Amino acid sequence: MNSEMVTTITGLLGGLAVFIYGMNLMSEGLQKAAGEKMKKVLGILTKNPIVGMLAGALVTAVLQSSSATTVMAIGFVSAGLMTLPQAISVIFGANIGTTMTAQIIAFKIDDFIWPIVFIGFVLYFFPKKESIKNIGQSVFAFGLLFVGITTMSNVMKPLADSPVFLSMIEQVAHIPILGVCVGALMTLVVQSSSATIAVLQNFASQPMADGVTSILGLTGAIPILLGDNIGTTITALLASVGQPKNAKRTAAAHCVFNVTGTFVFMWFVPLYAKFIQFISPKGPEIEVISRQIANAHTFFNITNTIIWLPLIPLMVKIVMKLIPDGKQQAAEQPLYQTRFLDTNVLKQPEAAIRLAMLELTRITEYVTEMAGHAKKAFLRGDTDAIGAVDSLEDVVDILQDSITNYLSSLCKTGKLTQGQSQRVAGMIRAASDIERIGDQYTSITNFAKLKREKEYTFTEEAMGELEEGFNHVQEMLRLTIRTLHDSDLETARQVVHQQESVEDLERRLSRKHMERLNLGSCSPENTVAFTDVLHDLECIGEYCSDIAEMLLNEKDSVIKMEKIDQRMNEA
């Protein structure tokens, strides 16, 4: 291997590395800049198919990766946030959204690359305001993306003079199926269809000896482009391993979408090339072929989506056939196993936070079950209820550890905005508070065991007062679940307000117990159990209030940051 070939290969790999780094950095910057808006966009993914498709395209344009959007959709299907048809519509949109990268690359901005890099650098590294830094990061990464493209373009020029290489390209250009295989293999290795299409655009822009004709041509580029679309489905298929069947079917739908589209378009490559040339800008082939490839990519995905969108029920049947339910029912999932957390979506913070919040809500539901059992255990001496509390306590402890580890891993990605970091910190505290509520109900159950062993008896009045306390705190727990699940600020304020009534209740019932002691109607031996159970209930109310305040503080922080941004913009 001569030095010129080594220079070409290393330059191509180096340029590709800079391109991929720039694309990932731009995706991170755009996500941070979008901030709360990403939360709203994710919220509409589960609407009707057309809205889901548009939202999928928008999310992919921000993430700069159809694979990332597809992995997110798989995670949402696995969590039960999306039905299979909804996820399929999002995937259709993701395939359209990913074509934006190729359209951007087709612009000729060579003279502006370094000014863009410098401006982005200044905005990224010097301002203290987070929103400006995020925009600067996106601009800086955008410049790096084109630095990588220019590097690849420069090192590819000698290839046009290599007879051996031209002979290989001629084979690919005249055997479409070979081009599809090359494209799929390239994307499989690089794990980014946007990167391989960028390489394709730059390679096709290299001239033959006449200085005008592309060494590949649009007819030769289209099969490789189609192969790129197939290769990008591998990431989604890998992400679905170990997931529920509907998650696997979502990944399969992505594969079926691109494979069927490729199969149809393969028969019409020459006609398709002429059509793209007709609708694209005119000029020397090497000057316009990059835009032609981008247009071919966009039109392929739009046409494929238009065909498949009304046929979503058919797509569902196909993937159900490919991945059937099977005769045997799957074993029931253990309670201590997480249902919503998906490590594949950690690089998309808003999606990961949403899944963690669902898992947090699920733990709170288990603690609410503990509340009902603890009440039966103490007031009625139900031995089965005592065992149920002990079992659920172990489940809550394990799930709390899982959520805390998941959120800690999310922090380690370094992709969180200041607002997202505050939300994650609040959720970690909330998980701890929920686990402590479980501890309090375990404490109450221990008193139930003691009450049974020592044969303590309480007056009817005392039991009625304790039942009132149990009911009041259970209502707070129910409202806390609604607060977590719906991010309902009004309910959160209601929970915080109810904490005052729990404290009043504890003082009132303690006073009444002392009065009964003075009158001799209540046994002194019962005092410890009675007062400690009341204290446990008061602590539970405090933890519920803390969880509700976490949500209220999160919203206040967002409002404060928006006001600060507004003032700085006005200044």
Q: What is the per-residue pLDDT across 527-560, written as a single tens digit (0 to 9) for each?
A: 777 888 888 888 998 888 888 887 787 665 544 4
Residue 74 · residue 251 · CB < 8 Å: yes
Average pLDDT, stretch 379-402?
A: 90
> What's the pLDDT score for residue 328?
47
Whether the predicted pLDDT of 569 surpasses 50: no
**pLDDT confidence bin for 432, thresholds 50/70/90:** very high
Report DSSP letters for 149-167, one per residue. HHHHHHHHGGGGG-HHHHH
What digits encode the pLDDT tens for the residues 463-480? 888 888 888 888 888 888
The residue type of 482 is R
Mean pLDDT of the chain: 83
In whole angstroms, give the CA distance from residue 448 to residue 536: 13
> What's the pLDDT score for residue 160?
59
Report DSSP letters for 90-138, one per residue. HHHHHHHHTHHHHHHHTS--GGGHHHHHHHHHHHHHS---HHHHHHHHH
Residue 566 · residue 498 · CB < 8 Å: no
What digits encode the pLDDT tens for the residues 277-293? 999 988 888 889 999 99
In whole angstroms, give the CA distance from residue 340 to residue 79: 5
> What's the pLDDT score for residue 298?
93
Percentage of the chain with pLDDT > 90?
Answer: 18
> What's the pLDDT score for residue 570?
46
Distance of CA 208 to CAs 39, 163, 217, 288, 289, Å? Answer: 49, 11, 10, 15, 13
- Range from 53-62, 512-521, 543-552 carrying the lowest mean pLDDT: 512-521
Instruction: Extract the tokens encoding 314.
Output: 């058919």
**Rg of the chain over all Cα atoms, to the nearest angstrom:** 30
Instruction: Extract the tokens encoding 339.
Output: 């249902």
User: The whole model's pTM is what?
Assistant: 0.78
Whether the predicted pLDDT of 508 surpasses 70: yes
Average pLDDT, stretch 249-274?
A: 91
> What's the pLDDT score for residue 467?
87
Residue 42 · residue 78 · CB < 8 Å: no
Residues 6+ apart with CB under 8 A from 428: 403, 404, 407, 408
User: What are φ and ψ of residue 551, in 5° steps?
Assistant: -70, -40
Task: Say whether 281 sits in a helix, a strand or coil.
Answer: coil
Residue 450 · residue 529 · CB < 8 Å: yes
Residue 182 · residue 172 · CB < 8 Å: yes
Residues in the chain: 571
In whole angstroms, give the CA distance from residue 363 to residue 507: 30
Task: Say whether 214 sits in a helix, a strand or coil.
Answer: strand
Q: Which fold has domain 343-570?
A: Methane Monooxygenase Hydroxylase; Chain G, domain 1 (1.20.58)
The domain segmentation of the chain, as residue ranges, is 3-322, 343-570
In whole angstroms, give the CA distance from residue 294 to residue 287: 13
